Structure 1
Amino acid sequence: MGIYLVIEASNGLILIWDKKTSMFIKLSPEFNGRVCGLCGNYDGNTNNDFTTRSQEVVIDALTFGNSWKFSSSCPESTVAVSPCANNPYRQSWAQRQCSIITSSVFSSCHSQVDPSNYYDACVSDSCACDSGGDCECFCTAVAAYAAACNEAGACVAWRTPRICRKSPIPWRHNRADHYLKINRITGNINGA
């Protein structure tokens, strides 16, 4: 039993949901350069992912996000909110918890996938989750780094009985399914 619910459509769209806080969208190569929106355009060039609805490439996240509003009746976002500034009492906890990403636990991955952005995102997400589910936000952020590591060929067994245990089932270290495993031939996700 994995922690992800995977839905594969016949047109090459794959939705991956962790049944909690994260949804991933994977597209087959046929979609390359044929999509647009908040997730980018899938052309392999990250420098143009902030392309607005009017096809202008911008660097400001607010301008980019506001351009993709569904309805003109939606208010403009005017200030990028820093979750840790809004919830300063959560910052030290978030930094301490998220330090697992830069710790020796993930050392086999650090040369494959730079942990800096993942650590920053983990701290931000962990500060933002202030109305319950704080551990889910933290665990999802660390799992995102673990998935990137796995995709780069560094499979890290980071879950423990005290850190983001997969399920209420008693934890056994030698279980083969306590981390995300991607089948490189089919692209399917197995385990969790």
Structure 2
Amino acid sequence: MTDFGLRVTYDLVYHVTVTVPGNYNGRTCGLCGNFNDDKADEFQLLDGNLTKDFQTFGAAWKVPVPGAVCEDGCSGDQCPKCDDSKKAAIEEKCAVITNPKGPFAACHDVIDPASYFRDCVYDVCMAKNDQSIMCNSIAAYMLDCHDFGAKIENWRSASFCPFTCSASSHYETCLLPCTSPCPGLVETLTCTTTCVEGCACDKGYYYNGTGCVPSDQCGCYYNCQTYKVGESIITDDCHRIHTCQASGVVLSKNMTCDPNESCLVKNGCQEIIQSGNFSQISDWFRVVVKLETCTPGVNTIMAVYVFLNEVMITVNNKHDVWTQKVMAEKGYSRDSTSAWVWPPKGPMQNRGYSKAADLASLYTEGPLVK
């Protein structure tokens, strides 16, 4: 959705919707029509004339794209034809769209199903009776009916276009996208008011962004991240701690480090760890390397963090250099950037290695030798 109210949705198969605010009434043109509440002049060409030919209308609004070839399609006898011996069986299945007593009957007076039926038969025939093409064709009519508020009955079954839902959920023909979300999730989503078919969470379960879970497994959503109930996140150089509560609300408090603690980045988050005993040393250092193991057995360096007394230097995998949250001047080569932080100029002490799932941190600390 744009800042001026344009919303585009696509189901990745057949169905595209374009929605604009009411103040665009009479101010649009193109494949979606002119939005002037007159259904008789939708197929308007660039010169203002009307056409009844779909091919001419579509070709008129093509936009040239460098490196792309967009053809106008076929017409008349040039189009491939469906084998009559196969057509009858396909028509019988696609007829669920036009059946006057079928699940789509309530939509027939709103949207004429004839063109959807023809498209279904032709597409399935050209796809050599591919059942997924048939199901997608029927679903396209259902989506348009939903847009106009028509109530569609359940047309799927275990043997006809089955719809599989994950654990703790069930299929519904008309479902609002933001039904039963986990607390806090709705603030991170943009929800539409038009229903779509899909899987709804069973009673007592809530949608957490990937599936349906009990309420105590919902967690919290903070800065585009998901956190478990009871999990804490430390930010602002370890001056703030944010804790996920069972209600889905993140409770934020001020905090400070004890004299024997240090604030560093570990596993991508700031964390407090016990410092080594450097009370008799005026200068010390700590190097933390953030590793990511996307491929088993292969560690990739994502960032290097260097702590020098009150100063922290960060070099990321794009070779950007940050000092105390302020980006330093760019222009370093790969070698010169690495030279900032490695190898350290002091004897390495207290080597440690910790690994969690697919992320690890390697750190070393000791007195700084000048």
Same fold (TM over 0.5): yes
Distance 1:81 1:27 in 2: 39
Distance 1:100 1:62 in 2: 27
One-letter amino acid of the structure 1 residue matched with residue 132 of structure 2: E
Q: How does 1:1-192 map to 2 (within 5 A)?
A: 8-71=1-64, 79-80=75-76, 86-88=81-83, 90-103=86-99, 104-106=101-103, 108-109=105-106, 112-113=109-110, 114-130=112-128, 134-150=130-146, 151-167=148-164, 169=166, 175=170, 177-181=171-175, 187-189=193-195, 191-192=197-198
- Report the alpha carbon displacement of residue 124 of structure 1 after superposing the two structures with TM: 3.0
- Gapped runs of 5+ residues in structure 1? 1-7
Taking only the aligned residue pairs, the percentage that are identical comes to: 23
Alignment match, 1:3: none
CA RMSD of aligned residues (A): 3.5
Q: Higher RCO, 1 or 2 (CA under 8 Å, sep at least 6)? A: 1
- Report the alpha carbon displacement of residue 95 of structure 1 after superposing the two structures with TM: 0.8
Could you tell me whether the CA contact under 8 Å between 1:112 and 1:149 is conserved in 2? Answer: no
- Quick one: structure 1 residues 191 and 55, their matched pair in 2 at CA, closer, same or farther if it must change by over 3 Å? same
Q: Give per-residue Cα distances to partners, 1:20-76, cap 9 Å, x unaligned.
A: 233222333233222211222222222211111222212222322232232499666
How many residue pairs get aligned? The number is 176
Distance 1:165 1:181 in 2: 17
- Report the alpha carbon displacement of residue 135 of structure 1 after superposing the two structures with TM: 2.7
- Quick one: structure 1 residues 190 and 60, their matched pair in 2 at CA, closer, same or farther if it must change by over 3 Å? closer
One-letter amino acid of the structure 1 residue matched with residue 8 of structure 2: L
| Structure with bigger gyration radius | 2
One-letter amino acid of the structure 2 residue matched with residue 119 of structure 1: F
Could you tell me whether the CA contact under 8 Å between 1:20 and 1:136 is conserved in 2? Answer: no
- Gapped runs of 5+ residues in structure 2? 178-191, 199-370
Q: Give per-residue Cα distances to partners, 1:144-163, cap 9 Å, x unaligned.
A: 33234443342311121222
Q: Which has the higher strand share?
A: 2
One-letter amino acid of the structure 2 residue matched with residue 100 of structure 1: V
Secondary structure of 2:172's aligned partner: coil
Secondary structure of 1:157's aligned partner: coil
Could you tell me whether the CA contact under 8 Å between 2:104 and 2:152 is conserved in 1? Answer: no
Give the structure-2-normalised TM-score: 0.40
One-letter amino acid of the structure 2 residue matched with residue 147 of structure 1: L
One-letter amino acid of the structure 1 residue matched with residue 23 of structure 2: E
- Report the alpha carbon displacement of residue 98 of structure 1 after superposing the two structures with TM: 0.6
Could you tell me whether the CA contact under 8 Å between 1:149 and 1:156 is conserved in 2? Answer: no
- Quick one: structure 1 residues 30 and 166, their matched pair in 2 at CA, closer, same or farther if it must change by over 3 Å? farther
- Quick one: structure 1 residues 190 and 109, their matched pair in 2 at CA, closer, same or farther if it must change by over 3 Å? closer
- Report the alpha carbon displacement of residue 168 of structure 1 after superposing the two structures with TM: 6.6
Q: Which has the higher helix share?
A: 1
Alignment match, 2:335: none
